[in-house]
Amino acid sequence: MAYWLVILIGLVGGVSVGMQTPIGGAMGQRVGGIASSFIIHFSGMVLSGVYLFMRGGEKIRDWHTLPWYMLGAGIFGVILYQTINVTLPRLGGTMTTALIIVGQLLMGVAVDHFGLFGVAVRPIDLPRAIGVIILFVGSYLIVK
Tens digit of each residue's pLDDT, the chain (144 residues)? 899 999 898 899 888 988 888 899 899 999 999 999 999 999 999 999 999 999 999 999 999 999 998 999 999 989 998 998 899 899 988 898 889 989 999 999 999 999 999 899 999 999 999 999 999 999 999 888
In the three-class reduction of DSSP (H, G, I as helix; E, B as strand; rest coil), residue 119 is classed as coil
Please, are residues 38 and 77 in contact by the beta-carbon 8 Å criterion?
A: no
DSSP string, 33-62: HHHHHHHHHHHHHHHHHHHHHHTTTTTGGG
Q: Domain coordinates of the chain in residue numbers?
A: 1-91, 92-144
